[in-house]
Amino acid sequence: MGDAAARNFQYLAYGLIAVWAILAVYVLTLVSRERRIGREIESLKRMIEDREGK
Amino acid sequence: MREKILYILGALAALLLARNIWAMLTGLPDEAFQGAIFRIIFFHVPAAFTCFLLFFVALIASISYLKTGRMQWDSLAVSATEAGLAFGAANLVSGMIWARIIWGIWWTWDWRLTSMLVCWLLYAGYLVLRRAVEEPAQRARLSAVLSILSFTVVPFVFFSIKWFRTQHPQPVLYGEGKMDAAYRAMLYGNWVPLLMIAALLVAVRMRQERRLRELDALRREAHAF
Amino acid sequence: MQYLRQVWTIAAKDLRSELRTKEALNASLSFALVILLLFSFAFDPTAEMTREISGGLLWLVFAFAGALLLNRSFARELENDCLDVLVTSPVPASALFLGKALANWVLLLGIEAVCLPVFGVFYNADWARQPGWLALVLLLATWGITVIGTMFSALTVNLRLRELMLPMLVYPMLIPCLMAAMQLTTALVAGQAPEGDQLAWLRMLAGFDIIFTALSVALVETVLIG
């Protein structure tokens, strides 16, 4: 495969990786936000239980 | 039950993608002038279609929110917008990589690229606006209006390469350009898994909005004393 | 008929209020002139360069100046609860909006009218070669800036970071309008009457104005009242 053709394929790879990386980043932000929400809900539930326990 | 549907959807999408990528790289003949990089079009264009579709969904959701006042519509609007931004970014970046090797430049201010970027910035502004408003009903109302105003740009993007002679390649799916039948099939065919992924992202994000509302209620309860 | 009278009353009120204090007008005009002069100083453009950038430069200046002006549009009503009074008065929200947009339009046109001769002097540019067409482009594009800016002024009036949010939201929305204006102005300042592609830009500018005026009039009540 010639030099130009190889570079061409390289860029194709970059392109595909870029598309999937962007979607992956979004999924990761969703996941991390989910975790943060989970933690906050837990801590608030505990706070309410404590208060009711008193 | 709903979880299972989402997992199945995800698995289907992954399978379809794997099959498509394999077919893309081995099955189709090379495009005459551009070589291998041309195949990026199978993601570049469907990503744009998905992006516009999601913004359209956000438009409908925004109008529905203003008509009914139900928060579920607001959740759909923000979920669709976020997913739309992700696909839009994928479209822009894949386009830039293509441009770098074909035209030798990363960017040009031709009308189609400009309007796509503007579109992206508008909806990014939608997310920023949402951060600036704390009260949920006000946030939903203002961002619904912004979503409606922003959508007017989308048709501009879609039709701009037909109206103006620009550097971006002329349309191949409608208008004068012709595309080989196998290529066209692959292009539309690859749209399907992208749509599935979009549906997945929106569903997950909507569930998150529901959890956020739950969180809000708990917060108010906890701090009520 | 009464509707138009209401629009006119609001417009007159805003104009009178602004012309008395001249706060926003002075800030806006000074800013515009400073950019024009700094640019001329920094780049010292040749006649050739000036011909190429005239549209872009002028409309950037007008857009920045406009943002300063438009920010004040609804914000000035926040003191003494004037905004609440206006919103609950019998004047429909769309009339309030159009009145303010009209006032802003006149003010921004005034600023442009001052900037153009200054541009002519400092850039040695003969800008009035197609006065009719140029006037049309100025009127249309300025209305575009004004409509969007006033609408977003209403949208952001109650937000914390209003001064930041307004430009950030307005500029992307304005890009189609500004692009058309820049293309047309560059050609007109160079002395060419519009034809072919240029007429398409002009049609787009008109379309932009119509669409966003209609949308804003329809939506402003939701924004202000809910």
Name the residue ranges covered by the structural domains of chain C: 2-224
Predicted local confidence at residue B32, as pLDDT: 59
Predicted local confidence at residue B177, as pLDDT: 46
Lowest mean pLDDT, pick from A8-22, B16-30, B150-164 = B150-164
Better-scored residue on pLDDT, B143 or B178: B143
Lowest mean pLDDT, pick from B98-107, B163-172, C124-133 = B163-172
Query: Across residues B64-82, what is the average pLDDT?
Result: 95
Predicted local confidence at residue C206, as pLDDT: 92
User: Which amino acid belongs to residue B29?
Assistant: P
Contacts of B86 in chain A (CB under 8 A): 22-23, 25-26
Residue among C28, C50, C30 nearest C39 (CA): C50
Residue B164 scores a pLDDT above 60: no
* Residue C219 contacts residue B145 (beta carbons within 8 Å): yes
Predicted local confidence at residue B29, as pLDDT: 66
Contacts of B201 in chain A (CB under 8 A): 26-27, 30
Q: Is A39 on the interface with B (CB under 8 A)?
A: no
Predicted local confidence at residue B181, as pLDDT: 73
Predicted local confidence at residue B8, as pLDDT: 83
Answer yes or no: is A9 within a domain: no
Quote the mean pLDDT of chain B. Answer: 83
Proportion of chain C above pLDDT 70, given as a percent: 100
Predicted local confidence at residue B176, as pLDDT: 40
Predicted local confidence at residue C81, as pLDDT: 83
Lowest mean pLDDT, pick from A11-15, B3-7, C100-104 = B3-7
Answer yes or no: is A53 within a domain: yes
Predicted local confidence at residue C34, as pLDDT: 94
Contacts of A13 in chain B (CB under 8 A): none
Residues 77-96, chain B: which have Cβ within 8 Å of C? none
Name the residue among A19, A26, A30 with its Cβ closest to that of B43.
A19
Better-scored residue on pLDDT, B168 or B66: B66
**Residue B3 C-alpha from the chain's centroid:** 23
Spatial separation of the C-alpha atoms in residues B221 and B217, rounded to whole Å: 6
Does the distance separating the beta carbons of B133 and C159 come in below 8 Å? Answer: yes
Predicted local confidence at residue A1, as pLDDT: 55
Contacts of C169 in chain B (CB under 8 A): 125, 128-129, 146
Question: Which one of B21, B49, B197, B215 makes the best mutation probe of the A interface by having the most chain A beta carbons within 10 Å?
Answer: B215
Answer yes or no: is A11 within a domain: no
Question: Which one of B30, B34, B101 makes the best mutation probe of the A interface by having the most chain A beta carbons within 10 Å?
Answer: B101
Predicted local confidence at residue B170, as pLDDT: 55
Proportion of chain B above pLDDT 90, given as a percent: 42
Predicted local confidence at residue C71, as pLDDT: 85
- Give residue-wise pLDDT tens across range C111-141: 999 999 999 998 888 888 888 999 999 999 9
Q: Is B149 on the interface with C (CB under 8 A)?
A: yes
Predicted local confidence at residue B102, as pLDDT: 82
Top-ranked range on mean pLDDT: pick from B201-205, B213-217, C21-25: B201-205
Which residue stretches of chain A are H helix? 3-53
Residue A10 CB neighbours (<10 A)? 13
Contacts of B39 in chain A (CB under 8 A): 12
Answer yes or no: is A41 within a domain: yes
Answer yes or no: is A22 within a domain: yes
ipTM at complex level: 0.88
Contacts of B118 in chain C (CB under 8 A): 172, 175-176
Does the distance separating the beta carbons of B94 and A18 come in below 8 Å? Answer: yes
What is the number of domains present in chain A? 1
Classify the C-alpha dihedral C74-C77-C82-C84 as positive or negative: positive
Q: Is A30 on the interface with B (CB under 8 A)?
A: yes
Residue C177 scores a pLDDT above 80: yes
Q: Give the chain A residue whose CA is nearest to the CA of B94.
A: A15
Residue among B156, B77, B129, B81 nearest C169 (CA): B129
Predicted local confidence at residue C194, as pLDDT: 81
Spatial separation of the C-alpha atoms in residues B7 and B3, rounded to whole Å: 6
Q: What is the CA radius of gyration of chain B?
A: 20
Q: Is A28 on the interface with B (CB under 8 A)?
A: no
What H or E segment, with its residue span, contains residue C147? helix C131-156
Answer yes or no: is A48 within a domain: yes
Residue C220 scores a pLDDT above 70: yes
Name the residue among B39, B93, B221 with its Cβ closest to that of A12.
B39
As to burial, measured by CB atoms within 10 angstroms (0-12 exposed, 13-18 middle, 19+ buried), residue A41 is middle
Chain B nearest CA to A14, separation (Å):
7
Predicted local confidence at residue B61, as pLDDT: 97
Q: Is C126 on the interface with B (CB under 8 A)?
A: no
- Give residue-wise pLDDT tens across range C53-92: 899 999 999 999 998 889 888 888 888 888 888 888 888 9
Proportion of chain C above pLDDT 90, given as a percent: 50
Predicted local confidence at residue C15, as pLDDT: 93
